[in-house]
Amino acid sequence: MTIIVTGANGRLAKELIPRLEKYDEVCALTKAELDITNKGQIEEILTKWNPHCIFHCAAYTDVDACEQEYEKAFEINSFGTLNIAKAAQNCLADLIYISTDYVFDGMKQSPYLEEDKPNPINIYGESKRLGERFVQLIHSKSYIIRTSWLYGSCSPNFVNRMIENAKKKKEIQVSNSEFSSPTSMKDFVEALVKISKHSYGTYHLVNEGSCSLYELAKQIYQEAGADPVLVSPVSSGKEECLAKRPGYSALGKSKDFSMRSWQEALREYVQAVL
């Protein structure tokens, strides 16, 4: 089976591609190799490769920068996705579109399910939501995959920063007013490669459970052998950011697709890093 992966330089693609290459022929395309805003280039590449499946990982993910460069955000996340969806439909390839918990506003105060109505509160979330709608409207053989608080070894992220702080026994203050579902990149990738066994539609792929950033940091310190007391709660610093963040964006599942708990996944990751 031939698979195309867009955004090959991104942190998700870097972990996804080696996993896919174990069993399939993979055409991994960086931004330099495939500009998703260029319809002609997309059609040329898809005609050449005739893929069975496309993992659409390319995105503009700098949440705060999206507020200032909103045209770029919609050009890439929305209309770039529209171009990919049209081309995938034309070549009869399954499409797997990676989306985000930021399509929700955080007002629900209980885990969001796949059928809950999105209501983004920042440009990044709006652009990703419009990308979702384009996929839903254009391509019947598609998957919309939402996830949250991804961490892994391929790029800087909150979990890696906290592990370094824990190693130094550093006292830190962390927000106790932002809640979501920490998700291991390893687990997310494994779930992604299995999604084709399920019916088309929208899925929330996250490790089970949710916590605040403060609770997550304390757990990391504990797993790293540092005293969790070194972590203290503080009111959110969201007001210092350009983009509003949903205070609560934990993702639940109404579909039969289980993943292990965020605590178990985190424990394995921290021990592997140490």
**Residue ranges with strand state E in the chain:** 2-6, 25-29, 53-56, 94-100, 142-147, 150-151, 172-175, 179-180, 183-184, 201-204, 211-212, 231-234
Joined tokens for residue 162: 């906290």
> Which whole-number Å values give the CA distances from 171 to 167, 220, 227, 233, 234, in the listed order?
11, 13, 10, 11, 13
Question: At which residue do the structure tokens 């291991």 appear?
Answer: 184
Nearest CA-CA partner of 17 in 193, 147, 183, 159:
193
221 is catalytic: no
CA dist 108 and 117 (Å) reads: 11
User: What does the DSSP 8-state code read for residue 116?
Assistant: S
Catalytic residue among 97, 112, 124, 248: 124
User: Residue 48's CB: how many other CB atoms inside 10 A?
Assistant: 9
Residue 48 CB partners (closer than 8 Å, separation 6+): none
Catalytic positions, written as ranges: 124
